[in-house]
Homo-oligomer: A and B are copies of this chain.
């Protein structure tokens, strides 16, 4: 057992941290301003492509993809602290081509895509030329239980016809977004977890209609955004099917593990930044004759935040380690555990920081309110807390079953 990052990883952390300080943080305000002044919020601020170019030149590109020639040759455990650093800024992950949902979609294509699919979609995604979205969640059914899904994918000769309504297709607002991975029921008569498929749907296919972009606590998250998309008699060629009919849940299992833990890593980074912002603030702010940092309650907030972050980080790393060593499936208890812990910890830490900032905390003068809103959605996205707790308990009860006989 050893709690030290490897030399290579520590070097990457330093490199990334420098890049954040030199390039990313100073451009956060620039990005927001370009977005505000662009007239249309659904255009990409030019500074983003400039930052991407620099990151790629610096070799800080596609670090997320384990077991692949395309990524940085890092496993999950090695990627974790880097992803954490990226999570400190809302705009950072895209700078390094490591943002959701593209990373998850790239992972799907890398693992389960045909050569042709890779050539057509994975290549430009890896190059950061196009963006993608993931159409899984539906407005009319409880997505916590994915077997509820009502979208249909019906074979018709050499084509599939897709019909359904999806929402929270994140990234769909981006003008560079070209392709959606859509999940739907293709084989209604198969066993429960083999009825669904995932299929590639170019967004310019007739019948694809983005009905609206959904706000999150008042934020539009432009130009990325969250789309409600109607798929109305959408036809795509057979070759767009990923892996094979009925493989939807198998792919989801493979896709969501890494996706979930990436979210957790980024949340640790967000929480860490919130704690830093709070710490700096309370030293400078004076009330009732002494700095806030000298008031016992504030010290409890700092201590509890550090304690919670440190534990969440260790659990994230342990989960990543297990994904690398025993595989995503065996590691699913750890993934569910950290999927519960990370957003809840981040939410509490950010909330304390907001409180320490007073009115500024709920405004956009500091990134805390935006961080909080994003964090809150992650108690729902990729499975609500309750479903993950349920999964942990189920495994726990089953393991105990084996032991006690």
Q: Which of A218, A317, A321 has the most CB of B within 10 A?
A: A218
Given contacts A145-B287, A321-B1, A358-B142, contact A218 B293 (CB under 8 A): no
| Contact of A302 with B217 in the complex, beta carbons under 8 Å | no
A393 contacts B359, C-beta separation under 8 Å:
no
Chain B residues with CB below 8 A from A306, complex form: 333, 337, 392-393, 396
Taken together as a complex, chains A and B put the C-alpha atoms of A384 and B358 apart, in Å, by 8
| A306, A311, A340, most chain B CB atoms within 10 A | A311
How many angstroms from the CA of A361 to the CA of B299 in the assembled complex?
24
Q: Choose from B296, B314, B380 the contact partner of A297 (Cβ within 8 Å).
A: B296
Contacts of A385 in B (CB 8 A): 355
Cβ-based interface call for A194 (8 A): no
Q: Does A77 touch B at the CB level, under 8 Å?
A: yes
Known: A6-B1, A392-B306, A404-B280. A142 touches B215 (CB 8 A): no
Q: Closest CB-CB distance, A320 to chain B, in whole Å?
A: 9
CB distance from A60 to the nearest CB of B (A): 21
Is there an interface contact between A386 and B297, defined as CB atoms closer than 8 Å?
Answer: yes
Q: Are B361 and A380 in contact (CB under 8 A)?
A: yes
* B3 near A393: Cβ-Cβ < 8 Å: no
Copies of this chain = 4
Contact of A115 with B by CB under 8 A: no
Whole-angstrom CA separation of A372 from B347 in the bound complex = 14
Say whether A55 faces chain B, with CB atoms less than 8 Å apart.
Answer: no
A315 with B314: CB separation less than 8 A: yes
Of A39-47, A200-208, A236-244, A362-370, the one contacting chain B is: A362-370
Chain B residues closer than 8 Å to A58, beta-carbon distance:
none
With both chains docked as a complex, state the minimum distance between the C-beta of A224 and any C-beta of chain B, in angstroms.
14
B340 touches A307 (CB 8 A): yes
A379 located at the interface, meaning its Cβ lies under 8 Å from any Cβ of chain B in the complex: yes
Asked whether A217 and B217 contact (CB < 8 A) given A285-B142, A321-B3, A392-B307, the answer is yes
Nearest-neighbour CB distance to chain B for A131, whole angstroms, equals: 20
Mask: chain A, 380-405; 1 = CB below 8 Å from B; 0 = not = 11001110111011101100110010
How distant is A174 from chain B, measured CB to nearest CB, in Å?
Answer: 19
- 3 smallest CB-CB distances across A and B, nearest first, come from A218-B218, A296-B296, A218-B219
Q: List 28 A-B contacts (CB under 8 A).
A: A2-B2, A142-B285, A144-B288, A145-B286, A214-B359, A214-B364, A215-B364, A216-B369, A217-B373, A218-B218, A218-B370, A280-B400, A296-B298, A297-B386, A302-B392, A303-B337, A307-B341, A307-B392, A310-B315, A310-B318, A310-B334, A311-B315, A314-B318, A355-B379, A355-B380, A355-B386, A361-B380, A362-B376
